[in-house]
Amino acid sequence: MNYEEPKRQDYDVFISYRHETGFYMAQIIYADLIANGCTVFMDKTMDSGKYEEKIHTAIKNCKNFVVVLFPGDIVECESADSWLSKEAKWAIECGVMNIIPVMCDGFQWPKTEEKLSDSMKVVMKNHGLFIHKDFSIDK
């Protein structure tokens, strides 16, 4: 019996977020992008299987990488083992064209980069979007 490789899925956007802080904002961004015709990958929507392999493959096949950040998330990003740092590293290694930090509810980058993982230093240098209580996603 012959088995075919699953068809490669290309994504317009991959959404990276911390489950503890960014899940609801990631869902809002996901729903808005889907409603506007984008193909979007968010880990909560993936099928069962090898988690890390599926994440890496989705990042490799995306055009835009969005990182949702809330106050306090930066402490998590100090480690290269954090999922935000890992996913950002893969996006950089795979040559994803647009890496977009979405900074929510007063998130601020640290005044010095010394504690950040190398991948988060790259994310920090990208132009991003600040979202606050008066922000409209339609903008």
CA distances from 2 to 5, 20 (A): 10, 42
Active-site positions read 87
State the DSSP H helix or E strand holding residue 64, giving kind and residue range, or none if neither. strand 62-69
First-residue to last-residue Cα distance in the chain:
52
